[in-house]
């Protein structure tokens, strides 16, 4: 495996870790750690896709980062007190 493969594998591995932890209820899907793992993993995978000049996955992973950032921002907003 070359450098690009390692970077992509690490990024996708982090995304899959977040998904696995969520599926088995170790992480809530609206928790900050879930979003952070997705942001980090997708950013790394996006970079690896850029390195190999594969634009469809640069777009996919870039959008994954953006959506996860919105989720993180939404999860950090304070809920109104009842």
Question: What's the Cα-to-Cα distance from 11 to each of 44, 52, 68, 75, rounded to whole Å?
Answer: 5, 14, 14, 23
* Mean of pLDDT over the chain: 93
Structure-block tokens of residue 67: 């959506």
**The pLDDT of residue 77:** 84
pLDDT in tens, 3-12: 999 999 999 9
Asked if the model's pLDDT at residue 79 lies above 80, the reply is: no
pTM over 0.85: yes
pLDDT tens figures, 33-44: 999 999 999 999
pLDDT above 90 coverage of the chain, percent: 84
Query: Which H, E and C letters describe 48-76, residue by residue?
Result: HHHHCCCHHHHHHHHHHHHHHHHHHHHHH
């Amino acid at each position: 495996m070359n450098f690009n493969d390692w970077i992509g594998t690490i990024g996708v591995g982090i995304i899959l870790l977040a998904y696995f932890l969520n599926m088995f209820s170790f992480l809530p899907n609206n928790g900050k750690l879930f979003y952070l793992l997705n942001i980090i993993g997708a950013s790394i995978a996006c970079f690896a896709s850029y390195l190999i000049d594969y634009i469809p996955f640069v777009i996919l992973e870039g959008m994954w980062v953006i959506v996860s950032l919105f989720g993180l921002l939404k999860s950090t907003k304070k809920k109104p007190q009842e």
